[in-house]
Amino acid sequence: MTVKEIFETMDYGPAPESAAEALAWLAEHSDGFGHFIDGSFTKPGAGFDSRNPANGEVLATLTQATPADVDSAVAAARAAQGKWSKLGGPGRARHLYALARLLQKHARLFAVLETLDNGKPIRESRDIDVPLAQRHFYYHAGMAQLMEKTQPGREAMGVCGQIIPWNFPLLMLSWKIAPALAMGNTVVLKPAEYTSLTALLFADICRQAGLPKGVVNIVTGDGDVGRMIVDADVDKIAFTGSTEVGRAIREATAGSGKSLTLELGGKSPYIVFEDADLDSAVEGLVDAIWFNGGQVCCAGSRLLVQEGVSEDFYRRLRRRMDGLRVGDPLDKCIDIGAIVDPVQRDSIARMVDSNTEGETYRAAATLPASGCYYPPTLITGLSPASTLMQDEIFGPVLVGTTFRTPSEAVELANNTRYGLAASVWSENINVALDMAPKLVAGVVWVNGTNMLDAAAGFGGMRESGFGREGGWEGLTAYTRPTGKPKPLSKIEAFTGDKGPEDGIDRTAKLYIGGKQARPDGGYSRGVYSKSGTLLGQVPIANRKDIRNAVEAAHGAKGWPAATAHLRAQVLYYLGENLSARAEEFAKRLDQMTGNRTGVKEVEAAVDRLFTYAAWADKLDGDVRAVPLRGVALAMREPVGVIGVLCPDEAPLLGLVSVMAPAIAMGNRVVLAASEPFPLAATDFYQVLETSDVPAGVVNILTGNHAELAPTLAAHADVNAVWSFSSTDLAATIERGAAGNLKRTWVNNGQSRDWMGEEGEGQTFLDAATEIKTVWVPYGA
């Protein structure tokens, strides 16, 4: 036999990783696992089996948490939190470092246990999941060390409830626990029912590392246990999983004051241009959709390939698919392991079998005779609206279609309710970097896919959820401003029966799309001074007016695309023009509120406009050094159209304080003016009209906050809703926002000092922007 023949006929022999150590660790717990609460394992109780999906064998018996278990885990976390926070950043950094070291020392045990429990190939758990988990603890040990210097004025949230899925059990645990602990929080975490074992091994590691009792608590069980955590006395919920459950959690926490971050599903486009290196793009697809059997929230599951190369590309892809090896996950030469559970495999099969469109190609791979497997599958020629192009399959199934032009690629890519990730393949840097900002996705990989790192923020747009994990932006989800907030009581409008002092009728209008508009309903109400004199009439806006305003805001497409320099100039001009009418505004404010703070308020409003004019061209993105052949750009993008219920107590300054950061960052706004004192806002549109603010960028409505809030919150084309109203609208807004999972920022019935530091700064700029992480090849 010649060497050539040997090469051509060579096949893989079995290369099994030993499971002995992991099985021995499991054998130590043969009477079952309890929960890890307050530093020790509870006695095992009634529960369920955890099985190896590769062969169906029972690996361990786990305990289903009861409400009492969850209560005691939360109580332990609560009791430990003060001391853990007071330990200080450097003190906590040592503990995180110890955890990172122990994760390294026990890396192989973690990898094997993960593979046994989840079915993912050992190659992945050993080379990706576990090293990334270690990296997260190292990175956040650093964040803890630096917290006091880099996060002045911020402190831990308190107790965090964390709920994670089964696709990256240890990695998701690290993404949740490391930043929480670094910032001084304590946690109660629930792993997924299918895959709890590495979380329990991690609990063991916490003991070994000497982590103070109660800092990490782990409770096991099904979705009911998740619900119990959501309802428990915790300060924050961090969830990764399906959009459906994410939405339910948004509704369940509405109005509770609990902070929430959601990392949900995706249907991420994988875009191949005709000038791409096609073989690299094919290889990339192996990582995009067959990594972890496609059970990846950011999987490149939707292939969009340029028409001219599509046949060639599909041919190369099918050939590569036929080379994929599916089988025993513990075999080091296996590409695709087992699907996590028969329930998931059946769901994949059901979705694929119900499809009648396009052409289905199944890889030639031989599947093991038993165990939970599904073949790598490619379905091409689907229409954009097809169910398989829109819904997450969460398995090794790639669906695709073709496009002709870059703009068609953008349209197809963004034709989804999700917005988690996207890959762009092109050897032309202009094409690739032109696409990146146009894709609605929290993460964009250029000539790459599924790259993840602790330094690079990860998270979604649209129904893929909100909040970021990793990077500096990930820390805001685990901290809050220091200080005790004061309650805000409802501010009522003055009433009266005296006509205007000068007898002149002053009836304001709404301000929509750069024009003064009569209210749809045709109703208005009188605004009176403290002594009961009529100061003017304002319209009562209704849902139709909101719809018109949102449409006008969307029409102002040029604003987010305008240069920051231009936006700065407009804001300076607004400041200048307001300043020119300072006296008149001050008088109006004093008449409306009955206070004598008008002069100061106008001064502060002018100053605020100048502040955000200054920020407009200075809040840059930044570049993250990631340990891969590339850099990750953290780009700040505007959120979109923001609806704001403006503060009642500072009629002009409050409006300016929310409008200015929003428009400085390229958003368009629909502002519901101070309910009791709306005349400063209706005067302000004259300033807008004279300051070159493009039509539709700022829209001003007057009316009843409680009536306007539900429409704003439920509007599918509004991207974020903020409320600083003295009417407590937190529950209404957060519940309404669950529909399209829009971002919310509500005051939870607490006051804010608009004149002081609380009234401006980073918090506003952060809320007005979202980080898009763009991975770009760089260096060797």
* 263 versus 683: smaller Cβ distance to ligand NDP: 263
Backbone angles phi, psi at 490, to 5 degrees: -60, 130
Helical ranges in 617-759 per DSSP H: 653-664, 679-689, 705-714, 730-736
Q: Are 191 and 50 in contact (CB under 8 A)?
A: no
| Interface pick for ligand NDP out of 190, 345, 480, 772 (rule CB under 6 A) | 190
* 457 versus 654: smaller Cβ distance to ligand NDP: 457
Which residues on neighbouring strands pair with residue 753, listed in sequence order? none
Q: Which helix or strand (DSSP H or E) is residue 537 part of?
A: strand 534-539
User: Which residue among 193, 263, 637, 649 is the active-site one?
Assistant: 263
| Interface pick for ligand NDP out of 134, 167, 268, 401 (rule CB under 6 A) | 167
Residue of minimal CB distance from ligand NDP? Answer: 226
Q: How many residues bind ligand NDP (CB under 6 A)?
A: 24
**CA 504 – CA 500 distance, rounded (Å):** 6
Q: How far is the CB of 147 from ligand NDP (least distance, A)?
A: 28
DSSP 461-500: SGGGEE--BSHHHHHHTTEEESSPPPB-PPPPPP---B--
| Interface pick for ligand NDP out of 76, 160, 245, 388 (rule CB under 6 A) | 245
CA-based max dimension of the chain: 109
Q: Is 132 in the site for ligand NDP (CB under 6 A)?
A: no
Instruction: Give strand ranges (E) for 384-528.
Output: 397-403, 421-425, 443-446, 465-466, 479-481, 510-512, 515-517, 524-528
Place of tokens 């028969």: 342
Residue 183: half-sphere exposure toward Cβ, Cα within 13 Å: 29
* 21 versus 49: smaller Cβ distance to ligand NDP: 49
Region 389-418 residues binding ligand NDP, contact defined as CB under 6 A:
392, 394
| Interface pick for ligand NDP out of 81, 240, 301, 674 (rule CB under 6 A) | 240
| Interface pick for ligand NDP out of 55, 61, 242, 690 (rule CB under 6 A) | 242
Region 246-305 residues binding ligand NDP, contact defined as CB under 6 A:
248-249, 264-265, 297
Q: How far is the CB of 355 from ligand NDP (least distance, A)?
A: 16
Q: Is 100 in the site for ligand NDP (CB under 6 A)?
A: no
For residue 741, the SS3 value is coil
Q: Is residue 263 among the annotated active site residues?
A: yes
Region 191-210 residues binding ligand NDP, contact defined as CB under 6 A:
192-193
Q: Is 53 in the site for ligand NDP (CB under 6 A)?
A: no
Q: Are 443 and 773 in contact (CB under 8 A)?
A: yes
Buried b vs exposed e over 734-752: b needs ≥16 C-beta within 10 Å? bbbbbebbbbbbbbbbebb
CA dihedral sign, ordered 693, 695, 698, 701? positive
* 45 versus 710: smaller Cβ distance to ligand NDP: 45
- What string marks each residue from 530 to 559 as x (binds ligand NDP by CB under 6 A) or -? ------------------------------
| Interface pick for ligand NDP out of 187, 230, 604, 656 (rule CB under 6 A) | 230
Q: Is 169 in the site for ligand NDP (CB under 6 A)?
A: no
Q: What is the Rg, in whole angstroms, of the alpha carbon atoms belonging to the chain?
A: 28
Q: Is 65 in the site for ligand NDP (CB under 6 A)?
A: no
Q: How far is the CB of 66 from ligand NDP (least distance, A)?
A: 15
- DSSP letter, residue 127: I
Region 595-654 residues binding ligand NDP, contact defined as CB under 6 A:
none
| Interface pick for ligand NDP out of 34, 119, 165, 514 (rule CB under 6 A) | 165
Q: Is 426 in the site for ligand NDP (CB under 6 A)?
A: no
Binding residues (CB under 6 A) for ligand NDP: these are 163-167, 190, 192-193, 222-223, 226-227, 230, 240-242, 245, 248-249, 264-265, 297, 392, 394
Active site residues: 263
